[in-house]
Amino acid sequence: MAGTKKKGTTDTMNKPIAEELSKNQRDISVAEFFERNRHLLGFDNKRKALLTVVKEAVDNSLDACEEAKQLPEIIIQIVEMGNDRYRVIIEDNGPGIVKKQIPNIFAKLLYGSKFHTMKQARGQQGIGISAAVLYAQLTTGRPAKIWSKIGANQPAHYYELHIDTQTNNPEIMREEEVTWKKTTGVKIELDIDATYQKGDQSVDSYLKQTAIANPHATFIYTNPKAEQFVFARATDKLPKEPTAIKPHPYGVELGIMLKMLKNTECRTLQSFLTQEFSRVGPQTAKDICEGAGLVPSMKPDELQLPHVEKLIEGIKKTKIVAPSTDCISPIGEELLEKGMRKEISAEFYTAVSRSPEVYKGIPFVVEVAMAYGGEQPGDQPVHILRFANRVPLLYQQGACASTKAIVQTNWRPYGLSQSQGALPVGPLTVIISLVSVWPPFTSEAKEAVAHYPEILKETKLALQEAGRRLGSYVNKKRRIADQQERISIFENYIPEVANALSDLSGVNKEKIEESMKKMLEKNKEYIQAHKEAHKVEKVEKKSKEEQVALTGFEDDNG
Amino acid sequence: MTTDKQAKEKIEDLGKELVKEVLANKPPILNVPVRALSNIVFNKQKEALELGNKISERNFFNVAHAKKFLQTLEVAAKSKDLLALGKHASLRDVFYMIKRTIPNTKTNIVDEQSESDNAIEDLELLTNLSREQLNINANKMGSVAGQVVIEDKGDEIDWSKMGSGGWSIPSNVEEIKFKKVKAKYVIYMEKAAVWERLHEDKFWEKQNCIIMSSQGQTTRGIRRLLQRLSQEHNLPIYVLADFDPWGFYIYSVLKFGSINLAHMSGSMTLSTARFLGITADDIEKYGLKKQLIAFKDVDMTRLKQLQNYEWFKHSKDWQRQFKMMQTMNAKAEIQALSSRGISFITEKYLPEKIKNEDFLM
């Protein structure tokens, strides 16, 4: 956001962790900070800790591979060492990390560059992997072991790292050059306290979902039970590389606008608008000023609060081209469907990718995919897989905007049952993926997407579009089943009717039956298309009601 | 009279006709007249409900009709067997005779007796034969006592010497011969309990009449018996029923015929029937106001239906009764009369009503 200009300062970001950490670095140790915030960082309990460690490492690997335009191949290994202690080993084929940077990236909290740019990426605060290192250090006392190699002719560097919990600086326990067969890549090994459990919130399920959302990546995973899973890539096409952009005027809030005005180096309001925002040219800037009743030549720092309010009004009145979508890279309908097909067995698949929209000046794209039928249970609520920037969200499903959008969508027309205010029930998996420069989460733990109206609206539109396709499939399936049922009614009734008719007429039963079967065969279409049937049925039902109403004592049914 | 043989042939013809269609590769279709209010015509001259000419086509190769089609044929086949054997079956018997599960399905040919009953009525319409002629009988449900001697299947029966239960009326009364009819009129009552009262008080002996009742519904046998007594012996028929829409309707069915049996109206209606009570005026006259029971919604709905029936629409007397009942918003049972004394009905109410010819037509 506004911080693009002044790299390194965190005061323009309203992220509590960052502020807290930067202010208090000298006063409290990072160990203390970690203890205080472990629930925000994903280390609330031992089970979640295992997931978080794997997740942070895998996210980093995927981001690194994509930046280097390398098809990711990530090897994940978890080894049980007894007494709730596990060794987690994650190895990628990314570009590697230059020797100088290794200690900072792995053993210094809040180190990284993504925090200050408008660009879609998995990790955001540079806190993830170093937090995992710190967690290992605090629970087992063992250092993180890192291997890195940046080229075929380069040596591999091996580090054993601790974090100095007083100064938040890397402490190098060991450092040496080693031989490593890989051309490029990074490998990290951490010993941590953890529990391994299967289920919806397990590492197994996280990796499966990651494979769905990243069909260009291959994962080779060995779990603590020594079971190996290979999630092979479904495409050799890398996702389009996201680029950094400036904020879009729509939705930039008063507070952010004030900060931007304060920090800008532009001399006039007009140049402020054209230079600090995307999609604003001189004409648009003039239109905004006219709409706001402000002089374009005003100095930005002269704008007082009432002016800024007017400016925001002016922006709302002006038609501005939608934000550039370069900065985000949606999965795409085709690949999302491919990813789902390889990991979920079902009968029907569909995917919808919406056009980019904007919330608070930040572009985002919602994508939805559905897999219906197969062996999925039909009497359970639909299975929801949520993603933010291709990262699976495994916790806090109930608090997520995606879940809310599903609940608020009427699923009955699409052939699913649904009670008021509840998830629909049926053999369905729904994938909702949000990609954005800055996906808004409800908390720092990044587990649920916040309920922004723009995001809810887009999600619902995507669900409806995919739902309509699902509905036509489900209804068609039902129609075919109905037709088959109808045919089978006649097939079963014919012998009975033939029997009775033979009784009455003395004509041979087989002869009647054969003739009727022939007629059924010939008339299948006639039977299916026999709309009249329903009409007559309705009339009969009606007269039956009349009869019910009228038969009081009148009859003598004995 | 149609003999069993003729009836059997008629059913067989129905089957042959259908087989002919099937063998000609035409879908088998039964054309059944519609039995519903929409196809009921009130014949003003005959004062009877008659069936209109709406036909419902029942095509086997129509999902909505297939089951009914099969039910009708099953009933026809069973009736044919009965006629061939010279045996009679009850409606309940027929239900069990055709009830079974169709192979390879979870569907039963019939699940409830109402389905087989309906199929039997269809068969009546298709063959133009009455249920009795198809050798299917309803349960006997009525009692009679009075100064009448009849002959039934060779036995001579004196209705005045039947003990405390009276003679129970069979479902088929066509074969009965009236030997001696001394009684001057018939009282038909809705309630068996009231019949017991009249019988215990020897009302029929004192008043020289016939007392007849059924348990709830007016069966075909009773309706036919009343019709024969009226036509063959010119006896007036008095109806004693509750003061409620359902009681009025019992009278309506006896007199004009019913919607379900409109096709048989010729042998069922009783244009000489008179409604003796309980009338709205009786409530006033015999001080039964305290015995009134408040109307429920269904009562009012039913009353409004009665008011609009073609055959009641133009009767000032009946419309007046309906209106008074509507105003009272309440009903009363015949037994309400017991509040005036256990034998008030036989000693005062009935003799007075009949003497004063205080009835509705």
Residue B109 CA to residue B72 CA, distance in Å, equals 10
CATH topology of domain A333-475: Ribosomal Protein S5; domain 2 (3.30.230)
Residue A22: its pLDDT value, please?
Answer: 53
Residue A200 CA to residue A385 CA, distance in Å, equals: 10
Report the distance separating Cα B80 and Cα B158, nearest Å.
35
Distance from CA of B177 to the nearest CA of A (A): 23
Which pLDDT score, from 0 to 100, does residue B216 have? 65
Question: Which of chain A's residues have a Cβ under 8 Å away from the Cβ of B11?
Answer: 504
Using CB atoms, pick whichever of B23, B138, B190 lies closest to residue A556: B138
Q: How far apart are CA A320 and CA A326, in angstroms?
A: 17
A516 has a chain B CB within 8 A of its CB: yes
- As to burial, measured by CB atoms within 10 angstroms (0-12 exposed, 13-18 middle, 19+ buried), residue B131 is buried
Chain A: residue whose CA lies nearest to B256: A554
User: Chain B contacts of A548, Cβ < 8 Å?
Assistant: none
pLDDT for B40 equals: 82
Chain B residue numbers with beta carbons less than 8 Å from the beta carbon of A554 are 217-218, 249-250, 253, 258-261
Contact B37 A550 (CB under 8 A): yes
> Is the model's pLDDT at A546 over the cut of 60?
no
Chain B contact set for A490 (CB, 8 A): 60-61, 66
pLDDT at residue number B346 = 93
The DSSP-derived string for A50-61 is HHHHHHHHHHHH
pLDDT at residue A545, as a whole number: 41
More confident residue, A7 or A261: A261
pLDDT digits (tens, 9 = 90+) for A260-293: 888 888 899 999 999 888 888 999 999 999 999 9
Judged by a CB distance cut-off of 8 A, whether residue B240 touches chain A is no
Q: Which residues, at least 6 apart from A22, have a Cβ–Cβ distance to it below 8 Å?
A: A10, A11, A110
**Residue found by looking up tokens 């109905």 in the block:** A482
Residues contacting B298, CB < 8 A, separation 6+: none
- Specify the DSSP class assigned to residue B208: T
> Bridge partners of B240?
B189, B277
State the nearest Cα–Cα gap between A510 and chain B, in angstroms: 12
H helix or E strand, kind and range, residue B41: strand B40-43
Contact B64, A537 (CB under 8 A): yes
Cα(B181)–Cα(B151) distance, integer angstroms = 12
Q: Which 432-461 residues of chain A touch chain B by CB within 8 A?
A: none
Task: Classify strands A428-436 and A362-372 as parallel, antiparallel or unpaired.
Answer: antiparallel
Domain ranges of chain A: 2-231, 254-317, 333-475, 487-550
For residue B154, give the amino acid letter.
G
User: Mapped to the 3 state alphabet, what secondary structure does B129-142 carry?
Assistant: CCCCCCCEECCCCE
Locus of tokens 């587990």: A447
- Taking an 8 Å cut-off on Cβ atoms, the answer to whether B74 and A500 are in contact is yes
Tell me how far apart the alpha carbons of residues B170 and B174 are, in angstroms, rounded to a whole number.
Answer: 10
User: Cα dihedral sign for A522, A526, A528, A533?
Assistant: negative
The partner residues of B187 in beta bridges, in order of sequence, read B211, B238
- Cβ atoms within 10 Å, residue A423: 20
Chain B contact for A321, CB < 8 A?
no
- Using one digit for the tens of pLDDT, what is the confidence trace for A333-347? 999 999 999 889 999
Q: What is the per-residue pLDDT for A111?
A: 66
The pLDDT of residue A537 is 42
* Model confidence at A555: pLDDT above 60: no
Does A558 contact B at CB distance below 8 Å? yes
Residues 283-342 of B with CB under 8 A from A: 302, 305
- Say if residues B168 and B140 touch (Cβ distance below 8 Å): yes
Q: Please give the Cα distance from B248 to B61 (Å, whole number).
A: 43
Q: What is the pLDDT of residue A114?
A: 43
Amino acid at residue number A157:
H
From B333's Cα to the closest Cα of chain A, the distance in A is 15
Find residues 196-225 of chain B whose CB sits inside 8 Å of chain A: 216-221, 223
Chain A touched by B42 (CB under 8 Å): no
Classify strands A391-393 and A428-436 as parallel, antiparallel or unpaired. unpaired
Q: Which residues contact B162 (CB under 8 A, 6 or more apart)?
A: B145
Biggest CA pair distance of chain A? 107
Paired sense of beta strands A73-82 and A85-91, if any = antiparallel
pLDDT in tens, A431-450: 999 998 778 888 767 789 99
- Taking an 8 Å cut-off on Cβ atoms, the answer to whether A526 and B61 are in contact is yes
- Put simply, whether A497 touches B (Cβ < 8 Å) is yes
Length of chain B (residues): 361
Give the number of other Cβ atoms within 10 Å of residue A73's Cβ: 18
The one-digit pLDDT tens for each residue of chain B (361 residues) are 567 888 899 999 999 999 999 998 888 999 988 887 788 888 888 788 888 888 888 889 888 888 999 999 999 999 999 999 989 898 999 999 999 998 888 889 999 999 999 999 899 989 888 888 888 887 767 899 999 999 998 899 999 999 988 998 888 888 889 999 999 999 999 888 999 999 999 999 999 999 999 876 678 888 889 999 999 999 999 999 999 999 999 999 888 888 777 777 777 778 889 999 899 999 999 999 999 999 999 999 999 999 988 889 888 999 999 999 999 999 999 999 999 999 999 999 999 999 998 888 8
What is the radius of gyration, based on Cα positions, of chain B?
Answer: 23
Q: Mark which residues 57-96 of B lie under 8 Å from A by CB.
A: 57, 60-67, 69-70, 73-74, 76-77, 80, 90-92
Nearest Cβ partner for A504 among B80, B105, B260: B80
The encoded tokens of residue A18 equal: 């960052």
B340's tokens? 């005036």
Q: Which candidate, B24, B30, B34, places its Cα nearest to that of B59? A: B30
Judged by CB atoms closer than 8 Å, whether chains meet at B218 and A553 is answered as: yes
pLDDT at B268: 74
- Are residues A492 and B102 in contact, defined by beta-carbon separation less than 8 angstroms? yes
The answer to whether the CB of A461 falls within 8 A of the CB of A414 is no
Is B218 in contact with A536 (Cβ distance < 8 A)? no
The answer to whether the Cβ–Cβ distance between A549 and B217 falls below 8 Å is no
| DSSP symbol at B29 | E
Contact assignment for A500 to B70 by CB distance below 8 Å: yes
User: Residues with Cβ < 8 Å from B3, sequence gap 6 or more?
Assistant: none
Residue A362 φ/ψ, nearest 5 degrees: -110, 120
Closest Cα in chain A, distance from residue B22 (Å): 7
| Domains parsed from chain B with CATH numbers | 4-137 (1.10.10.10), 142-355 (3.40.1360.10)
- Is A25 a residue whose pLDDT tops 70? no
Distance from CA of A527 to the nearest CA of B (A): 7
- pLDDT greater at residue A62 or residue A111: A62
Q: Of the residues B96, B188, B238, B349, which is catalytic?
A: B96
Burial B316-336 (b: 16+ CB within 10 A, else e): eebeebbeebeebebbbbbeb
Cβ contact A277:A300 at 8 Å: no
Q: Quick one: which H or E segment has residue A495?
A: helix A453-505
Q: How far is A66 from A329, CA to CA, in rounded Å?
A: 11
ipTM over 0.85: no
Q: Is A481 on the interface with B (CB under 8 A)?
A: no
Query: Element (H or E) spanning B211, and its range?
Result: strand B209-214
**pLDDT tens, position by position, A176-212:** 999 999 999 999 999 999 999 988 889 999 999 999 9
Q: Give the chain A residue nearest B103 (alpha carbons).
A: A492
Closest chain A C-alpha to B206 CA, distance in angstroms:
30
State how far residue A490 is from chain B, nearest Cα, in angstroms. Answer: 7
| Main-chain dihedrals φ then ψ at residue A156, nearest 5 degrees | -90, 140
| Contact indicator for A437, A328 with CB cutoff of 8 Å | yes
Please enumerate in sequence order all residues whose Cβ is within 8 A of that of A545, keeping only pairs 6 or more positions apart, or say none. none
CB of B246 within 8 Å of any CB in chain A?
Answer: yes
Say yes or no to pLDDT of A42 above 60.
yes
- B137 reaches A (C-beta below 8 A): yes
CATH of domain A2-231: 3.30.565.10
Counting one residue from chain A and one from chain B, the pairs whose CB atoms sit within 8 A come to 173
Interface residue of A517, A556, A557 to substitute, partner B, most B CBs within 10 Å:
A556
Alpha-carbon distance A336 to A358, whole Å?
22
Q: Which residues of A touch B245 (CB under 8 A)?
A: 552
- Count of CB atoms within 10 A of residue A477's CB? 15
* CATH class as words, domain A254-317: mainly alpha
Asked if A527 is an interface residue toward chain B (Cβ–Cβ < 8 A), one would say: yes
Strand duo B209-214 + B185-189: pairing: parallel
Contact residues on chain A for B191, CB-CB shorter than 8 A: none
Is B242 in the A-facing interface, judged by CB distances under 8 Å? no
Q: Which of A105-109, A260-264, A308-312 has the highest mean pLDDT?
A: A308-312
| Residue B96 annotated among the catalytic residues of the structure | yes
